[in-house]
Structure 1
Amino acid sequence: MTAGRTLLAFDGRPVDGGLYLRIDHFAQHLPAAARDAVAAFSAYGLGLLAVLMLAAWWRARHADNATMARALAAPLCVIAAFAADTLLKGVLREPRPCQVLPAGTTLEACPGVGDWSLPSNHTVIAFAGAAALWLVDRRIGFLALLLAAAMGVSRVAVGVHYPHDVVLGALVGTAAGYGLALLAGHGHGLVDRARSGTLRAWLAA
């Protein structure tokens, strides 16, 4: 990394580097089975979000057109939130804490230089999906929020993010997911027409 890039990059160490190291130390001293479970959830837990989206679509077959429009748009809301997060990462360019702090052996392999830390991609995706699903079905949305919170905590526990990476990720994801899902509700007219056509079996109970 050049001197110019270093000056322009955001340094997260003074924000909560000490808290990150305490969490990392705690995680490294968990029983082996617990460490493996945390690492596996952190790496693959977003698959559960896809399951919740499928459940929301299924339940939306009994709901009004605006709700179905939001259910169908939920994956697109997540993609848009991820794109915005990627752009923000490129602006802030915060190095991963495991690259610049004495974290030891983290539960997840530390990403390479240039794989920026702020905000947390996983957290943005999880909270964007949860916010969108909240507008489709409150019970599924609540489960998605629990999943998102657990995902955020796990990203710090495995050693690849500062706590503030997760906090900003939650804010970005929630704002993007909720706002875009609200807009998606205006597509109720398209759903109404689709429910009267060949897609009726997929969009109505």
Structure 2
Amino acid sequence: MAPLALDGSRIDGSLFTSVTDFARGTPWLNAPIALATNLGLAVFAVLMVIGWWRARRRDDAAMAAALAAPVVVAAFAVAEVIKKLVAEPRPCRALPHDFYVNSCPATADYAFPSGHTTAAAATAAALFLLDRRLAAIAAICAILEGFTRVYVGDHYPHDVLGAMVIAAAVALVAGLVLRGLIRPLVARLRTGGALQPLLAAHPVAAR
């Protein structure tokens, strides 16, 4: 199948320019946001670890959901396939006169959907199946992550919104399926053995 080579600037190029104009006018924010847009992904890893740690004191379903949280990888893989099919050039190529915090990536590094936002939104969706409070924190962080991707000039707003929809759908479906598949195994492993301390805070009686 031939790539679509979508011209994203025709969708919301004016909104993108408004955000990058804001970045042009706030040079003191550029370095912190450029740092946060990459290092911020570590927050989502920490949230998943916290979810797993709390699940050790909860039931089998919670621990199964915690172990299913890495479906973020599946969402990212789907997004990468879509990225190759859509083949949307980065904004820096369609709107070369706009302001950009980050340098222009390679030509084959396409824009839709945003990979960073995919990982962030998929984490929020996976945590929704485990811990609603952690999911709420992750959702707020995902929105901020999406904004930083536009701010630094790497993505259009629709790249971010599309990534959120794709990531949430894939992570929720894959998470539900995987949670159901591994729950019986989790229940057995929590009753004893070398892995028991990783799956339960206290020994669980055999069922």
Measure the CA separation in 2 of the matches of 1:87 and 1:139: 31
Say if 1:162 and 1:71 are closer, same or farther in 2 by CA, change over 3 A. same
Measure the CA separation in 2 of the matches of 1:109 and 1:70: 39
Measure the CA separation in 1 of the matches of 2:123 and 2:107: 28
Asked if 1 retains the 8 angstrom alpha-carbon contact of 2:23 and 2:99, the reply is no
Compute the TM-score of the two structures, normalised by the length of structure 2.
0.91
Measure the CA separation in 1 of the matches of 2:4 and 2:171: 29
Measure the CA separation in 2 of the matches of 1:138 and 1:74: 13
Measure the CA separation in 2 of the matches of 1:103 and 1:170: 28
In structure 1, runs of 5+ residues without a counterpart are none
**TM-superposed deviation, 1:124:** 0.8
Asked if 2 retains the 8 angstrom alpha-carbon contact of 1:9 and 1:93, the reply is yes
**TM-superposed deviation, 1:58:** 0.3
Deviating more after overlay: 35-44 vs 118-127: 35-44
**TM-superposed deviation, 1:103:** 4.3
- What's the Cα RMSD here? 1.4
Say if 1:137 and 1:103 are closer, same or farther in 2 by CA, change over 3 A. farther
Say if 1:101 and 1:143 are closer, same or farther in 2 by CA, change over 3 A. same
Question: 4+ runs of 1 displaced by more than 4 Å?
Answer: none
Q: How high is the sequence identity, in percent, across the aligned residues?
A: 43
Which residue does 2:187 correspond to in 1?
A: 192
Compute the TM-score of the two structures, normalised by the length of structure 1.
0.92
**TM-superposed deviation, 1:67:** 1.3
Say if 1:140 and 1:12 are closer, same or farther in 2 by CA, change over 3 A. same
Q: Aligned with 1:178: secondary structure?
A: helix
Which residue does 1:131 correspond to in 2?
A: 125
Which residue does 1:155 correspond to in 2?
A: 149
Measure the CA separation in 1 of the matches of 2:97 and 2:132: 39
Measure the CA separation in 2 of the matches of 1:59 and 1:184: 19
Count of matched residue positions in the alignment of Structure 1 and Structure 2: 198
Measure the CA separation in 2 of the matches of 1:50 and 1:190: 24
Asked if 1 retains the 8 angstrom alpha-carbon contact of 2:7 and 2:94, the reply is no
AA of the residue aligned to 1:16: D
Asked if residue 63 in structure 1 is aligned to residue 58 in structure 2, the reply is: yes
